[in-house]
Amino acid sequence: MDRQTDRDVSDVSNLLYRHPELYEVVYDGAGHAVAKLAETILHDQLGRRAESLLDIGCGTGRDLEYLATHIPDVVGVDHQQAMIDYARTRRPEINFQTGDMRTLRLERAFEAITCFGYALANIHANRDIDKAIATFAAHSQPGTVLILEMIDPQRTDKLPRSFTIDIPDLRAEAIAEYRHHYAQQLLERRRTWRRAQGLVHDHVNFRLIYPKELEHYLDNHGFEVLGAYELSEKLNAASAFVAARYRGEQS
Protein backbone atom coordinates (compact mmCIF):
# COMPACT_ATOMS: atom_id res chain seq x y z
CA MET A 1 0.00 0.00 0.00
CA ASP A 2 1.16 3.53 -0.74
CA ARG A 3 -1.24 5.97 0.85
CA GLN A 4 1.16 8.68 1.94
CA THR A 5 0.66 12.22 0.72
CA ASP A 6 2.79 15.28 0.14
CA ARG A 7 2.24 16.19 3.78
CA ASP A 8 4.37 13.22 4.84
CA VAL A 9 7.39 14.68 3.08
CA SER A 10 7.29 17.82 5.24
CA ASP A 11 6.42 15.97 8.45
CA VAL A 12 9.48 17.41 10.14
CA SER A 13 9.73 19.68 13.16
CA ASN A 14 13.41 20.42 13.65
CA LEU A 15 15.04 23.13 15.74
CA LEU A 16 18.20 22.84 13.65
CA TYR A 17 16.39 23.39 10.35
CA ARG A 18 14.82 26.54 11.76
CA HIS A 19 18.23 27.70 13.00
CA PRO A 20 20.87 26.57 10.48
CA GLU A 21 23.65 28.20 12.49
CA LEU A 22 22.93 25.64 15.21
CA TYR A 23 22.90 22.82 12.66
CA GLU A 24 26.56 23.48 11.94
CA VAL A 25 27.35 23.37 15.65
CA VAL A 26 25.64 20.02 16.29
CA TYR A 27 26.79 18.43 13.03
CA ASP A 28 30.35 19.75 12.95
CA GLY A 29 31.28 17.84 9.82
CA ALA A 30 34.05 15.78 11.47
CA GLY A 31 36.73 17.47 9.38
CA HIS A 32 34.70 17.23 6.15
CA ALA A 33 34.64 13.43 6.48
CA VAL A 34 31.59 12.93 4.25
CA ALA A 35 32.84 15.31 1.55
CA LYS A 36 36.28 13.69 1.59
CA LEU A 37 34.73 10.24 1.22
CA ALA A 38 32.70 11.51 -1.74
CA GLU A 39 35.86 12.96 -3.26
CA THR A 40 37.58 9.57 -2.96
CA ILE A 41 34.61 7.70 -4.45
CA LEU A 42 34.37 10.11 -7.38
CA HIS A 43 38.08 9.87 -8.12
CA ASP A 44 37.98 6.07 -7.93
CA GLN A 45 34.98 5.81 -10.25
CA LEU A 46 35.81 8.59 -12.72
CA GLY A 47 39.60 8.18 -12.69
CA ARG A 48 39.93 11.95 -12.26
CA ARG A 49 38.23 14.80 -10.49
CA ALA A 50 34.64 15.57 -11.44
CA GLU A 51 34.13 18.75 -13.46
CA SER A 52 30.57 19.37 -12.27
CA LEU A 53 28.48 18.32 -9.27
CA LEU A 54 24.88 18.71 -8.11
CA ASP A 55 24.28 18.34 -4.36
CA ILE A 56 20.59 17.65 -3.64
CA GLY A 57 19.66 18.21 -0.01
CA CYS A 58 22.71 20.42 0.44
CA GLY A 59 21.61 21.93 3.77
CA THR A 60 23.93 24.74 4.83
CA GLY A 61 26.32 23.95 1.98
CA ARG A 62 29.31 23.03 4.09
CA ASP A 63 30.03 19.77 2.26
CA LEU A 64 29.57 21.51 -1.08
CA GLU A 65 31.95 24.29 -0.03
CA TYR A 66 34.68 21.69 0.49
CA LEU A 67 33.93 19.88 -2.76
CA ALA A 68 33.93 23.20 -4.64
CA THR A 69 37.62 23.59 -3.84
CA HIS A 70 38.26 20.69 -6.23
CA ILE A 71 35.25 20.78 -8.57
CA PRO A 72 34.86 23.95 -10.65
CA ASP A 73 31.12 23.77 -11.35
CA VAL A 74 28.83 23.03 -8.38
CA VAL A 75 25.16 23.63 -7.61
CA GLY A 76 23.40 23.05 -4.28
CA VAL A 77 19.66 22.51 -3.85
CA ASP A 78 17.60 22.13 -0.68
CA HIS A 79 13.90 22.06 0.16
CA GLN A 80 14.36 24.12 3.34
CA GLN A 81 14.37 27.84 2.52
CA ALA A 82 16.07 28.74 5.81
CA MET A 83 18.97 26.44 4.95
CA ILE A 84 19.38 27.99 1.49
CA ASP A 85 19.22 31.52 2.87
CA TYR A 86 21.94 30.67 5.38
CA ALA A 87 24.06 28.90 2.75
CA ARG A 88 23.86 31.90 0.41
CA THR A 89 24.94 34.23 3.21
CA ARG A 90 27.85 32.08 4.39
CA ARG A 91 28.97 30.80 0.98
CA PRO A 92 28.01 33.45 -1.58
CA GLU A 93 30.39 32.12 -4.23
CA ILE A 94 28.29 28.95 -4.67
CA ASN A 95 25.07 28.64 -6.67
CA PHE A 96 22.36 27.61 -4.18
CA GLN A 97 18.73 27.08 -5.13
CA THR A 98 15.55 26.08 -3.35
CA GLY A 99 13.94 22.99 -4.84
CA ASP A 100 12.01 19.78 -4.26
CA MET A 101 13.95 16.65 -5.20
CA ARG A 102 10.78 15.08 -6.60
CA THR A 103 10.22 17.79 -9.19
CA LEU A 104 13.56 19.60 -9.62
CA ARG A 105 14.61 20.13 -13.24
CA LEU A 106 17.62 22.35 -13.95
CA GLU A 107 17.67 21.32 -17.62
CA ARG A 108 21.31 20.28 -17.53
CA ALA A 109 23.47 17.29 -16.60
CA PHE A 110 26.32 16.86 -14.12
CA GLU A 111 29.24 14.44 -13.88
CA ALA A 112 28.46 13.81 -10.21
CA ILE A 113 25.37 14.00 -8.01
CA THR A 114 25.37 13.73 -4.22
CA CYS A 115 22.58 13.43 -1.68
CA PHE A 116 23.84 13.43 1.92
CA GLY A 117 22.38 13.76 5.40
CA TYR A 118 19.52 11.28 4.91
CA ALA A 119 17.77 13.76 2.63
CA LEU A 120 16.24 10.92 0.63
CA ALA A 121 14.90 9.39 3.88
CA ASN A 122 12.57 12.39 4.22
CA ILE A 123 10.72 11.06 1.17
CA HIS A 124 8.26 8.44 2.41
CA ALA A 125 5.87 7.32 -0.33
CA ASN A 126 7.08 4.80 -2.91
CA ARG A 127 5.91 6.95 -5.81
CA ASP A 128 7.79 9.95 -4.40
CA ILE A 129 11.00 7.97 -3.97
CA ASP A 130 10.61 6.97 -7.61
CA LYS A 131 10.20 10.65 -8.55
CA ALA A 132 13.36 11.56 -6.62
CA ILE A 133 15.39 8.89 -8.43
CA ALA A 134 13.93 10.20 -11.70
CA THR A 135 15.28 13.63 -10.75
CA PHE A 136 18.77 12.17 -10.29
CA ALA A 137 18.47 10.57 -13.73
CA ALA A 138 17.20 13.81 -15.31
CA HIS A 139 20.44 15.54 -14.27
CA SER A 140 22.72 12.68 -15.37
CA GLN A 141 24.57 11.74 -18.52
CA PRO A 142 26.10 8.34 -19.31
CA GLY A 143 28.88 7.86 -16.74
CA THR A 144 27.51 10.24 -14.10
CA VAL A 145 28.31 9.00 -10.58
CA LEU A 146 25.59 9.26 -7.94
CA ILE A 147 26.37 9.02 -4.20
CA LEU A 148 23.53 8.58 -1.71
CA GLU A 149 23.89 8.63 2.08
CA MET A 150 21.32 6.11 3.31
CA ILE A 151 20.34 4.89 6.75
CA ASP A 152 21.42 1.25 6.92
CA PRO A 153 18.25 -0.51 8.19
CA GLN A 154 20.45 -3.07 9.95
CA ARG A 155 22.35 -0.42 11.91
CA THR A 156 19.67 1.93 13.21
CA ASP A 157 21.02 1.19 16.71
CA LYS A 158 24.09 3.23 15.67
CA LEU A 159 22.09 6.43 15.16
CA PRO A 160 23.10 9.13 17.68
CA ARG A 161 21.10 9.33 20.89
CA SER A 162 22.61 12.45 22.42
CA PHE A 163 23.28 15.91 21.00
CA THR A 164 24.88 19.05 22.42
CA ILE A 165 24.87 22.75 21.60
CA ASP A 166 27.50 24.71 23.51
CA ILE A 167 28.05 28.23 22.21
CA PRO A 168 28.32 31.57 24.07
CA ASP A 169 24.60 32.38 23.81
CA LEU A 170 23.14 28.91 24.14
CA ARG A 171 23.74 25.71 26.04
CA ALA A 172 21.40 22.84 25.24
CA GLU A 173 21.44 19.06 25.35
CA ALA A 174 19.09 16.63 23.67
CA ILE A 175 18.18 12.98 23.98
CA ALA A 176 16.72 11.22 20.94
CA GLU A 177 14.30 8.31 21.09
CA TYR A 178 13.63 6.10 18.06
CA ARG A 179 10.62 3.97 17.23
CA HIS A 180 10.16 1.62 14.27
CA HIS A 181 6.94 1.57 12.28
CA TYR A 182 7.65 -1.61 10.39
CA ALA A 183 4.61 -1.75 8.12
CA GLN A 184 5.42 1.71 6.72
CA GLN A 185 9.23 1.17 6.80
CA LEU A 186 9.48 4.35 8.86
CA LEU A 187 11.82 5.15 11.72
CA GLU A 188 10.40 7.84 13.99
CA ARG A 189 12.78 10.07 15.93
CA ARG A 190 11.60 12.25 18.78
CA ARG A 191 14.23 14.54 20.23
CA THR A 192 13.86 16.80 23.27
CA TRP A 193 16.21 19.73 23.73
CA ARG A 194 16.75 20.89 27.32
CA ARG A 195 17.88 24.48 27.73
CA ALA A 196 17.59 27.21 30.34
CA GLN A 197 14.53 28.69 28.59
CA GLY A 198 12.68 25.36 28.64
CA LEU A 199 12.14 22.32 26.43
CA VAL A 200 12.06 22.21 22.62
CA HIS A 201 10.75 19.12 20.84
CA ASP A 202 11.85 17.77 17.44
CA HIS A 203 10.06 15.17 15.38
CA VAL A 204 10.91 13.44 12.11
CA ASN A 205 10.07 10.20 10.31
CA PHE A 206 12.81 8.59 8.22
CA ARG A 207 11.92 6.17 5.41
CA LEU A 208 14.08 3.06 5.57
CA ILE A 209 15.04 1.67 2.16
CA TYR A 210 16.61 -1.78 1.97
CA PRO A 211 19.56 -2.44 -0.38
CA LYS A 212 17.74 -4.54 -3.00
CA GLU A 213 14.82 -2.13 -2.90
CA LEU A 214 17.14 0.79 -3.59
CA GLU A 215 18.84 -1.17 -6.36
CA HIS A 216 15.41 -1.69 -7.95
CA TYR A 217 14.59 2.03 -7.89
CA LEU A 218 17.98 2.92 -9.32
CA ASP A 219 17.92 0.26 -12.02
CA ASN A 220 14.50 1.44 -13.18
CA HIS A 221 16.00 4.85 -13.90
CA GLY A 222 19.20 3.74 -15.60
CA PHE A 223 21.62 3.49 -12.65
CA GLU A 224 23.93 0.57 -11.86
CA VAL A 225 24.97 0.17 -8.22
CA LEU A 226 28.76 0.22 -7.84
CA GLY A 227 29.07 -0.47 -4.13
CA ALA A 228 28.55 0.82 -0.61
CA TYR A 229 30.99 2.65 1.66
CA GLU A 230 31.06 3.41 5.38
CA LEU A 231 32.45 6.01 7.76
CA SER A 232 33.44 5.33 11.36
CA GLU A 233 32.54 8.83 12.57
CA LYS A 234 29.96 8.78 15.38
CA LEU A 235 27.22 10.73 13.61
CA ASN A 236 27.55 8.64 10.44
CA ALA A 237 27.91 5.21 12.03
CA ALA A 238 24.48 4.17 10.77
CA SER A 239 25.15 5.39 7.23
CA ALA A 240 25.78 3.47 4.04
CA PHE A 241 27.12 5.62 1.20
CA VAL A 242 25.80 3.97 -1.95
CA ALA A 243 27.55 4.78 -5.23
CA ALA A 244 25.88 4.19 -8.60
CA ARG A 245 26.73 4.98 -12.23
CA TYR A 246 24.22 6.23 -14.80
CA ARG A 247 24.16 4.10 -17.90
CA GLY A 248 21.17 5.84 -19.49
CA GLU A 249 17.55 4.87 -19.84
CA GLN A 250 16.95 1.53 -21.51
CA SER A 251 14.89 1.65 -24.70
Superfamily (CATH H level) for 15-153+208-246: Vaccinia Virus protein VP39 (3.40.50.150)
Q: Report whether 174 contacts 199 (CB < 8 A).
A: no
pTM, two decimal places = 0.91
What is the C-alpha separation between 112 and 44, in angstroms, rounded? 12
pLDDT values of the chain reduced to their tens digit, one per residue, 251 residues: 344 444 444 444 576 777 777 878 777 777 899 999 999 999 999 999 999 999 999 999 999 999 999 999 999 999 999 999 999 999 999 999 999 999 999 999 999 999 999 999 999 999 999 999 999 999 999 999 999 999 999 999 999 999 888 888 888 899 999 999 999 999 999 999 888 778 888 899 999 999 999 999 999 999 999 999 999 777 788 999 999 999 987 54
Q: Locate the domains of the chain by residue range.
A: 15-153+208-246
- The CA angle 78-233-153, to the nearest 5 degrees, is 70
Contact assessment for residue 232 and residue 145, using Cβ atoms and an 8 Å cutoff: no
